[in-house]
Amino acid sequence: MKTSGYIKEQLQRLYPDMVRWRRHLHQNPELSFQEVHTSRWIAEQLKAFGCEVREGVGGHGLLVTIQGELPGPVVALRADIDALPIQDEKDCEYRSKVPGVMHACGHDGHTSALLAVASYYQQHKAELAGERRLIFQPAEEQTPGGAVRMIEEGVLDDVDAIYGVHLWSPIPYGETSTKPGPFMAAADEFTLEIIGLGGHGGMPHTTVDTIVIGSALVQAVQSIVGRNVDPLKPAVVTIGSFQAGTTNNVIAERCVIKGTVRTFDEETRKLIHERLEQLIKHTCGMYGAEYDYHMRIGYPPVVNDEHEAGRFFRVSGELFGAENTTRSEAMMVAEDFSYYLEKVPGCFMFVGAGNQETGAVFAHHHPRFDIDERAMVHSAQLLIQMAEDFAAE
């Protein structure tokens, strides 16, 4: 195995390419399940390196297989390629050219870092022990996600371990973080339409007011976590959208409420789902309204393998310093990397990409989100070193 210093030097040489790739992707984002041109462009770069590329995996995904000349394990590395339905409000030369769509979560950086990993491995097959399988996954941002179909189409067949990195702006550039065991939450999405009886604002007694019913439900839902869930088990129920009515003096006949349920264990997940249905049924019944309710089951929790998380702390500590390698708290955000970890041992890791001096201070999914692009080198280096440390073991 090459030394960490050598790998870092090779990746530093690729850094200008990473910046160029990332900025191209940032200017030309595509939404989940629509990554047609993104996928084609990534394939062109990979083929230019001389990589063996399988296209159209799980939709618009790509799979790169790099077989070393020495015997060893199969290690998979994954990046996501999709963008978000957000208007880019940054004032920079590489802002999105697509109205209402932008890379507001760093997936452009993930893709560029994994392209650098592909270039490195392709040039060093003679010293490579085993196989490195690089997964460029579509549709991480929208359930049911892209991971499931890619797994169904064989990307994890015979894989011994898998690693993934998320560039994370809340962590300063130079730092890394993860957590053994449950790391990121399961996230489910629900939509409720309350159907009442509209009418004149001056004659409420002749109506069934869905705004009143919806407001009562929003208040009642807040009691689920506070009064039904074990306080030692993390959970959150969020109402993200409440839409009803059209004008001042008309009582709304319909009200649409949307929200999410985030949990870390199946028992709590099931409990919240049941309590939501009970509250909806009885509240609407009490006011004389009908309803249409749908719960979409989202990603399971991200659960890092204990041994592979331990590998991260050792490898990252050697690369970036123990003082810059931290144990994260559990987080309520979700990630479909969880599906890979249900199949094979691995670790999902955060690489710091925040920097006040460069303006990389905004939260993920913010219209002015950006990253310190140097973090892409750290991401690529961490992925390679994790894979090589596993192979050496």
Q: Annotated catalytic sites, by residue?
A: 82, 140
- DSSP track, 149-175: HHHHTTTTTT--EEEEEEEEEEEETT-
What is the enclosing helix (H) or strand (E) of 212?
helix 210-227
Cα 70 to Cα 125: distance, rounded to the nearest angstrom: 8
Angle separating helix axes 4-27 and 375-392, nearest 10 degrees: 130
DSSP 81-114: --BBS------STT--SSTT-B--SSHHHHHHHH
Task: Phi first, then psi: give them for residue 222, nearest 5 degrees.
Answer: -65, -15
Phi, psi torsion values for 50, nearest 5 degrees:
95, 15
Can you tell me the distance from the alpha carbon of 43 to that of 81, in angstroms, rounded to the nearest whole number? 12
Count other Cβ atoms within 10 Å, centred on residue 194. 28
Of 305, 32, 26, give the one whose Cα is nearest residue 41. 26
CA-closest candidate to residue 304, choices 341, 350, 354: 341
Asked if residues 55 and 35 have their Cβ atoms less than 8 Å apart, the reply is no
Using CA atoms, how far apart are residues 43 and 41, in angstroms rounded to an integer?
Answer: 5
Q: Which of 257, 270, 279, 334 is nearest to 302 (CA)?
A: 334
Token digits of residue 336 = 């479909």
Q: H or E segment at 383?
A: helix 375-392
Q: For the chain, how big is the Rg over CA atoms in Å?
A: 23
Is the distance from CB of 166 to CB of 98 less than 8 angstroms? Answer: no
Side chain identity, residue 156? L
